[in-house]
Structure 1
Amino acid sequence: MQDQQVGLVMLLVATLIFIYYTIWTFVTPFLDDDSIIQNFFLPRYYAIALPVVALIVGISIVATFVGLVIVKSVQKKKGKKN
């Protein structure tokens, strides 16, 4: 039961992030700069910068994991030959 609750929380967080980002990128450009709603959002520069940084970090983590798996598999093969 606990796994379902964790999954529900993760789904809700992802949904909220999606809604926030969608409003940030598609609605706020059409609002006046002095609008009260603009105070809830970072500058538009970060709408591009944050996903790019997240993508770079994610690709780096995946590449590191794949590299470690390859190194370990090569070491296992060398150990079996001896």
Structure 2
Amino acid sequence: MATGTDQALGWGLVGFSMSIFIYYTAWIIILPFIDEGQLIHSFFMPRIYALVIPLSSGVLGLLVIGLFVGVTMLKSTQKEKTS
């Protein structure tokens, strides 16, 4: 059973994820329909970052996963040779 701390952390992560989702959705879907001179544009980064940030995060994530699998396979091969 989850403790109060675990539940608080879980709800915090859900809230953080939802706020990122809402921000990104407003940035990509709603902002192009609002005039450039409006104050709301000052709360968002330039639109090019809407592609650069997720793309670089995905590449970095795949790199980390690939490194983990590679290191695990090397360690497994070394254990088989020593046994």
Q: Do these two structures clear the TM 0.5 threshold for a shared fold by scoring above it? A: yes
Cα deviation for residue 60 of structure 1 reads 0.6
> C-alpha offsets along residues 24-77 of structure 1, whole Å, 9 cap, x if unaligned?
000000110011111100010000011011011101111111111101110111
Aligned mates of 1:11, 1:74 — CA distance in 2: 39
Aligned to 1:79: 82
Aligned to 2:68: 65
Match of 1:29 among 19, 29, 32: 32
When the two structures are superposed, what TM-score results if normalisation uses the length of structure 1? 0.93
1:43 to 2:38 alignment? no
Match of 1:18 among 21, 26, 29: 21
Q: Which runs of 4+ in 1 moved over 2 A?
A: none
Q: Which has the higher contact order (CA 8 A, sep 6+)?
A: 2
When the two structures are superposed, what TM-score results if normalisation uses the length of structure 2? 0.92
> C-alpha offsets along residues 6-26 of structure 1, whole Å, 9 cap, x if unaligned?
111111101100000000000
Aligned mates of 2:71, 2:34 — CA distance in 1: 48
How many residues align? The count is 80
Q: Which amino acid aligns with 1:62?
A: I
Q: Which runs of 5 or more residues in structure 2 are unaligned?
A: none
Computed over aligned residues only, the root mean square deviation of the Cα atoms, in angstroms, reads 0.7
Cα deviation for residue 5 of structure 1 reads 1.3
